[in-house]
Homo-oligomer: A and B are copies of this chain.
Amino acid sequence: MPVGELFNPRSIALVGATDKSGWSISTLTNLRTHGFRGPVHLVNPRGGVVHGEQAHRSLSDIPGQVDLAYVMVPTTAVLPVLREGAKLGIRHYVILTAGFGETGPGGAALEAEIVGFARENDLTVLGPNGNGFVNAAAGITPYGLPIPAPLLRGPVGVVLQSGALASSVLGFAQARNVGISLLTSMGNESLVTVTDVIDYLVDDPATKAIALFLESVRDPAVFSRAARRALLAGKPIVALKIGRSRLASRTAQAHTGALVGDDNVIDAAFRQLGVVRVRSLEDLVITAGLLAEVGPLPGPRIGVVTPSGGASEIIADRAEDEGLELPAFAPETVARLREIVPAFGTVQNPLDVTGYVLIDRTLLGRALEAVTADPGVDAVMLLSDLPRVAPPDPEPVYATFSASAKRVADAPMPVVVVSNTLTDVTEFGRDVQRKTGFPYVAGGIEHGVHAIGAAVRWGQAYRAAVEAAGARVPAGAVASAPAAETRTGVWAEHRAAALLSSAGIPVVPGELVYDEESAVAAAVGFGYPVVLKAAAEGLGHKSDIGGVRLGLSGARDVERAYREVVAAAAAAGLDRVGALVQPQRGGGVELLAGVVRDPSWGLTLAVGLGGIWVEALRDTALRVLPVDAAEVRRALDELRGTALLRGARGTEPADLDAVAEVVARVAALAESLGDDLESLEINPLLVRGSHVEALDALVTWRG
């Protein structure tokens, strides 16, 4: 739904304006004090004087065009207001009124009526149960809570699925001197959605970065499209998505189902979409502010310039946490710095130019100039606090910060300024930034280094997306898909194996047998030792019923094993029980590769250590499909168990590209099976050098 006109009305009516309501007072005050130049009409059914002005009794009484009606009447009076407005040609609404879907079935019915009416009449509605918006860029602020003064205009667009947090975000952004382009409090999102606003912000020239507070991602497909658009447009999205602590309570036949907690899928999807996920309101604002002001950082190699040894060591620790590198300076940089840094200092990265800055105020700037010329560094972090209190004569302060500002502006690479601790940018600090052009200061080492890490990661995602947008999508492996009517329930190993084979996935050979003699014959054919597993339709985890025998090394062993597993399966109530005979494999590392359907995000791939380690270690990387082999390879690199794959003591190093190729085929097969598939899991997937082979598999259909 396009929302450009909603956020840019030239005339506004406050419907339900009354002296008794704090919301009414705040909304009018906000419009009058933050720059709205058009007419604001007050509507109250009793007419009279409201907020010191003459009120109209109804929308119809207002002379002239109304672009936006801000509605704060009682719940049941909302629809009549919309009816009247629609008749008058008012197309845009903010509904502050609560009492709708958030209260239960009765309210939901009322909300559905409003949605239906709005759709029929092509009305744009923000809310209900939302406080409105703050279009700081245009000075249009129909917003129902006090806006802390001063309202700072700037490059960050904010979209919140929470009313109460908007004030916290506005206040904190102000304390960080981070300006806002547009802030919206979404309410129930019954018509205008978060993604509608993202789409608007991507096109909005005033917005350079987008900050989201999300309680849920309502429509992952639509969200993904909007996020990809933002990424390709070079507008970073930073998101605080809550609900990390909620454990998915799904039941799924495959292990993969239990591994894919909702929140882990969101983590994976956000990473794939280039959405920077943060865990605090502080990181939300500080990171969005940095991305808006500095943009993507070209790489992870950071030169650090500080006036403090203690601080540089804190920075070194935090940089490692964030995956940043602090490379040694190039010899020419070291030589230059030796001329600059006092003899008792140490020239290294991170650089402490020493407390001598108190005596020589040019020291930090000259060191900065030397470090920004270093060829081995992608960006520079400068530790510098803004002044808090104006001295009697502020001119020397302005001069110092002007000189620094010029050095940062002239630097041949991005310079990110970070303060020691997270304290407010005071009024004088803001004044210094405004007057001298001193750049954005990320608040404190803790959150500042996090923001730098995010800017590096986002830069990587951005460049990869731009590159991929120009690249051709390779044709995936296509399986000879099984007939739709057979796609029900659980497919036991032998059927799943055939499906995998048809898609070019290497599977351990096996023979399905229905008597002891055939079992022995199959074993002889494969050569001892062999494995024997119960086989029957609908039989999932065979080991749970005692249906697996390993390391069988002779005919007697095989015969006995056959009798036992068949008996076990029969005892479990299964019909037409036979056994699968396979050669026993050994050595190598066992992985799990599975695809499961996430209820929101769709088919999701999990790769990790397999066998008994799946549940014990939960060392799994996730990706929302589609993925290619390169993406799978990156997922493998994320595993803690990577050391094992690379060849820990006594094991053969795995060919990770070969593994990625096979897993990518598994993903492509899952996609080709379409909506019928619930899950497809290989566990274990044996990896020994470049030998990759599925030793067991399970397919679950939705039907």
Contact = CB atoms under 8 A, between A and B. Distances in A.
Interface of A: 22, 98-99, 102-103, 145, 148, 160-165, 168-169, 171-172, 175, 213, 215, 240, 242-245, 279-283, 285, 307-311, 313-314, 316-321, 343-344, 355, 358-359, 385, 388-389, 420-424, 444-446, 543-544, 612-613, 615-619, 640-641, 643-644, 648-651
Contacts of A613: 644
B317 A243 contact: yes
Contact of A163 (B320, B355, B543): B355
19 contacts: A103-B344, A148-B389, A162-B308, A162-B311, A164-B307, A164-B355, A165-B310, A168-B421, A169-B421, A215-B309, A242-B310, A245-B317, A280-B314, A280-B446, A281-B420, A282-B422, A282-B444, A543-B649, A617-B643
Contacts of A102: 344
Nearest to A241: B317
A344 B280 CA distance: 27
Contacts of A643: 615-618
Contacts of A318: 279-280
B641 A164 contact: no
A320 B245 contact: yes
Given A161-B310, A280-B446, A617 B617 contact: yes
Contact of A175 (B213, B424, B544): B424
A33 to B, nearest CB: 15
Nearest to A420: B168
A308 B167 CA distance: 11
Nearest to A309: B162
Closest 5 CB pairs of A and B: A162-B310, A164-B308, A280-B446, A616-B644, A245-B320
Contacts of A388: 148, 171
A202 to B, nearest CB: 24
Nearest to A642: B616
Given A171-B423, A279-B317, A160 B615 contact: no
A692 to B, nearest CB: 19
Contact of A358 (B22, B242, B385, B616): B22
Contacts of A358: 22, 145
A693 B281 CA distance: 51
B421 A615 contact: no
A649 B615 CA distance: 8
A616 B168 contact: no
A244 B543 CA distance: 44
Contacts of A242: 310, 313-314, 316-317
B319 A245 contact: yes
B446 A98 contact: no
A281 B244 contact: no
A166 to B, nearest CB: 9
Contact of A311 (B168, B321, B640, B651): B168
A314 B444 contact: no
A359 B22 contact: yes
A344 B106 CA distance: 12
A246 to B, nearest CB: 8
A149 to B, nearest CB: 8
A421 B313 contact: no
B311 A165 contact: yes
Contacts of A279: 317-318, 321, 446
Contacts of A648: 612, 615-616
Contacts of A280: 314, 318, 444-446
A243 B169 CA distance: 34
A388 B640 CA distance: 46
Contacts of A421: 168-169, 171-172, 175, 281-282, 285
Given A172-B421, A244-B320, A612-B644, 7 more contacts: A165-B310, A172-B422, A172-B423, A244-B317, A280-B444, A544-B649, A617-B643
A36 to B, nearest CB: 23
Contacts of A616: 640-641, 643-644, 648
Contacts of A650: 543, 612
Contacts of A283: 446
B244 A612 contact: no
Contacts of A148: 388-389
Contacts of A389: 148
Nearest to A243: B313
Choose among A168, A169, A281, A612 the residue with the greatest number of B CB atoms under 10 Å from its CB: A168
A163 to B, nearest CB: 6
Contacts of A319: 245
A310 to B, nearest CB: 3
A165 B422 contact: no
A322 to B, nearest CB: 11
Contact of A313 (B99, B215, B314): B215
A422 B175 CA distance: 9
A70 B456 CA distance: 47
A283 B447 CA distance: 12
Nearest to A543: B650
A333 to B, nearest CB: 21
Nearest to A619: B617
Nearest to A419: B168
Nearest to A319: B245
Nearest to A326: B245
